[in-house]
Structure 1
Amino acid sequence: MKAYRITKRKHKDTAFSGFGARQYGGRWNLPNYPAVYLSESIALAQLETLVNLGDEDSLKNYVLLQLEVPDNLVMVLADDAYPKDWKGTRVSAGTQEIGTNFLMDGAALALAVRSCVVPQEYNLVFNPEHPDAEAVIEEGVEVTFQFDDRLVSD
């Protein structure tokens, strides 16, 4: 499956390292566990970026990166496995536990989880320490991209 990541241009070279998620944690991982968050579509990647923008952030100087993640290396989280509070505005300890256990287990390259923004679509929790990660990352490409100025008002 194609998967997308939007990141600031200055972070392009480390976009798949999992450094930020390792340092701060995320919805699906605890600190000290590297993870890379991807989306199954460009539109979802844009929405995920927009909901996480800080007040000082602008939509300038972003890049869109595309990976081809082999379907047989993606595990889909079953609908009945989501904690009750999985899509709250605050990060759930339950989602962090699920994602961290997935990363530690290393059985799959990516875990497909429903998006909190659009629950009918999926994001991927990509494990940059999985044995197949490097080969997939090396084949990644930058896609021509620019946010539409109308997405954020001044």
Structure 2
Amino acid sequence: MKAYRIAKRKHKDTAFSGFGARQYGGRWNFPKHRAVYLSESIALAQLEILVNLGEEDSLKDYLLYEIDVPDEQILVLADDAYPKGWNSPRASPRTQAIGTDFLIDGDALALAVRSCVVPQEFNLVLNPEHPEAEAVIDGAVEVRFEFDSRLGA
């Protein structure tokens, strides 16, 4: 599966380290657990950035990466496994527990989870500590990209 990550240029060297998720946590991980968030399309990756943009943030100086995650290394979260309120504006401890358990188990390279922004599409939670992560991350390609100026900031 082709997947996409948009990261600030200043984080170019650590875009696939999972350190931001480790420091702050995310919808699908508790702090202290590394995770790399990807989207199944460039458009979804853009939307995920836009909904998390702060008032002081700019849409300038972002980079886009394309990465190929082997289908056999993706675990898809079953529809009946989503806890109530999984898509609320703030991350819930229940979704964080699901993702953190996945990261700790290490059975697959990535967990496919529905996007809160577009529930019909998927984001991937990539485990950078998985044995196959380094090879997959090394294959990431930077793609020419900039946000359309009509999107704001």
TM exceeds 0.5?
yes
Quote the Cα distance in structure 2 between the aligned partners of 1:148 and 1:139: 27
Quote the Cα distance in structure 1 between the aligned partners of 2:124 and 2:73: 11
Q: Which runs of 4+ in 1 moved over 3 A?
A: none
Aligned-pair identity in percent equals 75
Match of 1:42 in 2: 42
In the TM superposition, residue 12 of structure 1 has moved relative to its aligned partner by 1.1
Match of 1:128 in 2: 128
In the TM superposition, residue 13 of structure 1 has moved relative to its aligned partner by 1.1
Match of 1:111 in 2: 111
In the TM superposition, residue 90 of structure 1 has moved relative to its aligned partner by 1.4
Letter in 1 for 2:141: V
If the length of structure 1 is used for normalisation, what is the TM-score?
Answer: 0.98
User: Match of 2:146, SS?
Assistant: coil
Match of 1:87 in 2: 87
Letter in 1 for 2:42: I
Quote the Cα distance in structure 1 between the aligned partners of 2:126 and 2:75: 10
Quote the Cα distance in structure 1 between the aligned partners of 2:101 and 2:2: 24
Match of 2:144 in 1: 144
After superposition, what is the alpha-carbon deviation per residue over 1:95-116, rounded to whole angstroms, capped at 9, x for unaligned? Answer: 0000000000000000000000
Quote the Cα distance in structure 2 between the aligned partners of 1:115 and 1:128: 20
Letter in 1 for 2:61: N
Letter in 2 for 1:25: G
User: Match of 2:124, SS?
Assistant: strand
Match of 2:9 in 1: 9
- Unpaired segments of 5 or more residues in structure 1? none
User: Match of 1:46, SS?
Assistant: helix
In the TM superposition, residue 54 of structure 1 has moved relative to its aligned partner by 1.0
How many residues in Structure 1 have an aligned counterpart in Structure 2? Answer: 153
After superposition, what is the alpha-carbon deviation per residue over 1:98-141, rounded to whole angstroms, capped at 9, x for unaligned? Answer: 00000000000000000000000000000000000000011110
Match of 1:30 in 2: 30
Quote the Cα distance in structure 1 between the aligned partners of 2:25 and 2:90: 13
If the length of structure 2 is used for normalisation, what is the TM-score?
Answer: 0.99
Match of 1:21 in 2: 21
Quote the Cα distance in structure 1 between the aligned partners of 2:91 and 2:59: 24
User: Match of 2:32, SS?
Assistant: coil
User: Match of 1:13, SS?
Assistant: helix
Question: Over the residues paired in the alignment, what is the CA RMSD in angstroms?
Answer: 0.6
